[in-house]
């Protein structure tokens, strides 16, 4: 085993990507509106940060077309996707399409944020921090409202959308993602 002292400095982008292709993550779509219309993107970088106060974080590429809106928005909605919603994940991971056009079903919360109607669970959060982190920004939001619907989660693993059985085994082969997850 290589110790930290003996490890070579730096990691190639190819190795880094390969390591994270083997790491399964839940799939969500983050939506927001800073006054110029709704935006949304698929995020596999969602993390629960704190219970008290309830905080989540997600990362977004600074080069993303959604970044200027997240940089200006006061709040976001995290739409947690179910196992059968790979089409929504793929749509919100695709560049150059109107992600809110049909067949996307969405509405606005009373506070103005766009919400994906078919997502089984939602978190509304007020953005508290935006930290530069390499070629991304890490965004931290304080959760002010949550809705939960019992569901089997959509998972992103090895470049594809899948899910897991109760025994932990994967299912859903063939649900290939675009390969453009924001993480």
Burial class from Cβ neighbours inside 10 Å (0-12, 13-18, 19+) for residue 38 reads buried
Q: Of the CATH numbers 2.30.110.10, 1.10.300.10, 2.170.120.12, 3.90.1150.10, which one belongs to the domain with range 13-163?
A: 2.30.110.10
Domain boundaries, the chain: 13-163
Pick the closest to residue 153 from 143, 166, 144 (CA basis).
Answer: 166
Burial class from Cβ neighbours inside 10 Å (0-12, 13-18, 19+) for residue 127 reads middle
Residue 177 — very low, low, confident or very high, per pLDDT cuts 50/70/90? very low
> What is the arithmetic mean of pLDDT over 131-142?
97
Query: Encoding tokens for residue 127?
Result: 């953005």
> What is the arithmetic mean of pLDDT over 119-144?
98
Pairwise pLDDT comparison (169 vs 62), residue with the higher score: 62
**164 has a pLDDT exceeding 90:** no
> Distance (Å, rounded) from C-alpha 123 to C-alpha 142?
10
Residues 6+ apart with CB under 8 A from 20: 183
Residues 146/152/153/154 CA torsion (nearest 10 deg): -140
Q: Considering the entire predicted model, what is its pTM?
A: 0.86
């Amino acid at each position: 085993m290589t110790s930290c002292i003996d490890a070579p400095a730096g990691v190639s982008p190819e190795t880094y990507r390969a390591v994270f292709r083997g790491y399964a993550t839940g799939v969500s779509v983050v939506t927001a509106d800073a006054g110029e219309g709704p935006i949304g993107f698929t995020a596999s970088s969602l993390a629960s940060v704190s219970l008290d106060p309830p905080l989540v974080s997600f990362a977004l590429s600074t080069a993303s077309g959604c970044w200027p809106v997240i940089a200006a928005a006061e709040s976001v909605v995290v739409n947690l996707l179910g196992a059968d919603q790979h089409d929504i994940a793929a749509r919100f991971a695709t560049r150059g399409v109107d992600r809110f056009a049909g067949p996307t079903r969405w509405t606005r919360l009373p506070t103005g944020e766009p919400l994906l109607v078919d997502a089984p669970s939602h978190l509304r959060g007020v953005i508290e921090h935006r930290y530069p982190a390499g070629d991304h920004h890490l965004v931290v939001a304080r959760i002010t409202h949550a809705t939960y619907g019992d569901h089997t989660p959509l998972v992103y693993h090895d470049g594809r959308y899948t899910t897991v059985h109760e025994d932990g085994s994967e299912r859903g082969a063939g649900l290939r993602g675009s390969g453009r997850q924001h993480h």
